[in-house]
Chains A and B, each alone.
Chain A
Amino acid sequence: MKKNYLLITALLMWSLAPFLWQVYTSFSTPEALINPLLKVGNRWTLENYIQVINSEPPFWRYLINSTIVGINATLITLILAIPSAYAINKVKNKIAQSLKVLLLLASLFPYVLLFLSLLEIARKFNLGNSLITLSIPYAALSLPLAILLLSSAFKDLPKDLEEAAIIEGIGMFQRIRWILIPLIAPATASTGIIVFLFTWNEYPIALTWISNIDLITLPVAIARIAGSSVYSIPYGAFAAATVLGAIPLMLIVLLFQKQIISGLTQGAIKG
């Protein structure tokens, strides 16, 4: 038992080490980072956080921007992915099968290769500098994986349930709305979080589509802090910004913990 405990702690430290290092850096003075012999009393500071929060525009602005884009992109993705996942699972012919392969290929495609052409599209259709339009490419890029994840959730549902509903006279849309969507809620939650995480972390598209400083998203803002001085890299402020940026994600994961885990293990065990 004790041995297990030690092993788990070691694993935890291994996984958490980079993040803990980040937190440590965010509370350290610049001197402390390069001089391990510095006295303990001189090592700690809140200056990095004060600097980040008091910047112009204030840091919470970027948090809000990222949240808006993230929620938007997640909603668009789920609204489009749920019906397609249902349909692709229902239709049992060669077209649906090859569609699944195509989706898999699309979800594996390195999206970074697309950002230049996406930028051209943004310029042509005047989609730049808007948080709403920025969620469109995000939703588009997330769709293939979302459809695949949700279609496997639909596939794992017992067939009897939908057939019982058919016999009861419950129409297709009502069936999806009242029976199937509630039953795939765990998968929907984990899919939603994957999409949200992607938009939260996405950099090249956000950088090229948005130039208005009041509308930039978190990764772009953090990168600006890192590049804000020609003569030094403000490691402390940089670390403080990433810690602040990670807090909302941790909250979401804690909040949806149960759904994420049951979503990820869905189909592993027959009910």
Chain B
Amino acid sequence: MTLTISKISRRINQNWIIRDLSFQVNKGECLALLGPSGCGKSSTLRLIAGLDSPNEGKVYINDQDVTDIPPVERRIGMVFQSYALFPHLSIFSNLALGLKVRGVSEKQQIERVSSILSVVQLEHLSNRLPSELSGGQRQRVALARALLRDPHVYLLDEPMSNLDAQLREELRPELRRLILKGSQPVLYVTHDQQEAMAMADRIAVLKNGELEQIGTPLELYKDPKSFFVASFIGRPQINKLPIKNNIISAIRPESIYIDSNGISCKVIETEWLGMNKLVFLDSNIGNIRMICASNIKINEKLSISWDKSEELHFDATSEKRLT
């Protein structure tokens, strides 16, 4: 099973929402669509689901052109950020409704819903209304609904953005176990680079509706094709050094170390990261972020350095990577 997007574009009036976007998600692969809000990632998902149609380009599911096929026949398992559970129906009915309209017998409906509820460990809540469930439980019902669809493709639209950080971490293994382990291609939309790194086999970074770079998390981190990708991937954010000869140099905070022969700086701010501290430094080359041992204090004087080979260089006008 595969999902292929070929040169799709969509515009509303004169504004391009998505422009000439192509990528493929292979069998069993999870591709994260990553980008700031308004970059076109949710719009791409809607085009694949068939909720909108592209102005140009084609969508293929299992090599079949589905561009003009209605959403029902595309067999999509979709999970919404808002969960989109039907608020007036019990959890059981929420899950059974789709089976019912697809002509599954009543006995089968009960069997399949109860088995999927036990997979997501919510059997005991089948008679409750969605409003009586916690956010995490609702999201698991939404996952169960997508699973029941027995889809060709999974589309997850910011599936965990409405959950708090702890629940997100609890749900990640669940999501892997339920959906990512399958043979279906999974498209995972998120604006959170950490989540994309954690969940996806590959990441596609979008900017203003265009594909900025696509690759494995490590590739994007080590070998960003543009300054946008370099600053979007990796936390704390990469340091931008002063522009010289129309070249942007950048260095990751984790590559900087303390060196008595290096550039002298003053600590202006610190943030706890747990084991160590994120330290904000003031120097004659501007503000620098680095990661330091926890005994660093504000107003302390430091000298820092880094390996020149760790620096990344970008053209200052196009912001593209220079090699």
B residues 134-188 near A (Cβ < 8 Å) are 145, 149
Q: Out of B49, B86, B101, name the residue touching A161 (CB < 8 Å).
A: B86
Q: Which residue of A lies closest to B86 (CB)?
A: A179
Inter-chain contact A171/B51, CB cutoff 8 Å: no
A46 at the binding interface (Cβ < 8 Å): no
Please tell me which stretch of A108-116, A132-140, A162-170 contacts chain B, meaning at least 4 of its Cβ atoms lie within 8 angstroms of it.
A162-170
Inter-chain contact B82/A168, CB cutoff 8 Å: no
A36 at the binding interface (Cβ < 8 Å): no
Tell me which residues across on chain B come within 8 A of A178, comparing CB atoms: 97
Tell me which residues across on chain A come within 8 A of B38, comparing CB atoms: none
Query: What is the predominant secondary structure among interface residues of chain A facing chain B?
Result: helix
B76 at the binding interface (Cβ < 8 Å): yes
| CB contact under 8 A between A171 and B101, given known A161-B86, A183-B87 | yes
A residues 146-185 near B (Cβ < 8 Å) are 158, 160-161, 163-171, 174, 178-179, 182-183
B69 to chain A, nearest CB (A): 13
| CB contact under 8 A between A168 and B80, given known A163-B51, A183-B88 | no
Tell me which residues across on chain B come within 8 A of A168, comparing CB atoms: 97-98, 101, 145, 149
B39 at the binding interface (Cβ < 8 Å): no
Inter-chain contact B84/A164, CB cutoff 8 Å: yes
Q: Out of B72, B80, B88, B98, name the residue touching A160 (CB < 8 Å).
A: B80
Tell me which residues across on chain A come within 8 A of B51, comparing CB atoms: 163, 166-167
Size bracket of the A interface: 10 to 19
Inter-chain contact A167/B71, CB cutoff 8 Å: yes
Inter-chain contact A163/B88, CB cutoff 8 Å: no
Q: Which residue of B lies closest to A169 (CB)?
A: B72
What is the bound-complex CA distance between A164 and B148, given in angstroms? 13
What is the bound-complex CA distance between A182 and B93, given in angstroms? 14
Tell me which residues across on chain B come within 8 A of A165, comparing CB atoms: 86, 97
Tell me which residues across on chain A come within 8 A of B78, comparing CB atoms: 164, 167
| CB contact under 8 A between A170 and B84, given known A163-B51, A164-B78 | no
Inter-chain contact A170/B71, CB cutoff 8 Å: no
B102 at the binding interface (Cβ < 8 Å): yes
Q: Which residue of B lies closest to A171 (CB)?
A: B101
What is the bound-complex CA distance between A168 and B85, given in angstroms? 12
Q: Out of B49, B82, B97, name the residue touching A170 (CB < 8 Å).
A: B97
Tell me which residues across on chain B come within 8 A of A166, comparing CB atoms: 51, 71-72
What is the bound-complex CA distance between A270 and B145, given in angstroms? 25
| CB contact under 8 A between A164 and B80, given known A169-B72, A183-B87, A183-B88 | yes
Inter-chain contact A170/B76, CB cutoff 8 Å: no
What is the bound-complex CA distance between A178 and B87, given in angstroms? 11
What is the bound-complex CA distance between A168 and B144, given in angstroms? 12
Q: Which residue of B lies closest to A164 (CB)?
A: B84
A141 to chain B, nearest CB (A): 31
Chain A 61-100 against B: per-residue CB contact (8 Å), 1 yes, 0 no?
0000000000000000000000000000000000000000
What is the bound-complex CA distance between A158 and B149, given in angstroms? 22
What is the bound-complex CA distance between A160 and B49, given in angstroms? 13
What is the bound-complex CA distance between A184 and B253, given in angstroms? 53
Q: Which residue of B lies closest to A157 (CB)?
A: B87
Inter-chain contact A169/B84, CB cutoff 8 Å: no
A residues 177-199 near B (Cβ < 8 Å) are 178-179, 182-183
Tell me which residues across on chain A come within 8 A of B49, comparing CB atoms: 163, 167
Tell me which residues across on chain B come within 8 A of A174, comparing CB atoms: 101
Which of the listed residues B84, B85, B88, B145 has the most CB atoms from chain A within 10 Å of its own CB?
Answer: B84
The 17 listed contacts between A and B (C-beta, < 8 Å) are A158-B84, A161-B87, A163-B49, A163-B80, A164-B85, A166-B51, A166-B71, A167-B49, A167-B51, A167-B72, A167-B76, A167-B149, A168-B145, A169-B72, A169-B102, A171-B101, A183-B87
- Add 9 more A-B contacts to A163-B49, A169-B101 (CB < 8 A): A161-B84, A164-B80, A164-B85, A165-B97, A166-B71, A167-B76, A168-B98, A168-B149, A170-B101
In the complex, the 3 A-B pairs of residues with the closest C-beta atoms, listed nearest first = A168-B98, A164-B84, A160-B84
Residues in B lying within 8 Å of A, measured CB to CB:
49, 51, 71-72, 76, 78, 80, 82, 84-88, 97-98, 101-102, 145, 149
Residues in A lying within 8 Å of B, measured CB to CB:
158, 160-161, 163-171, 174, 178-179, 182-183
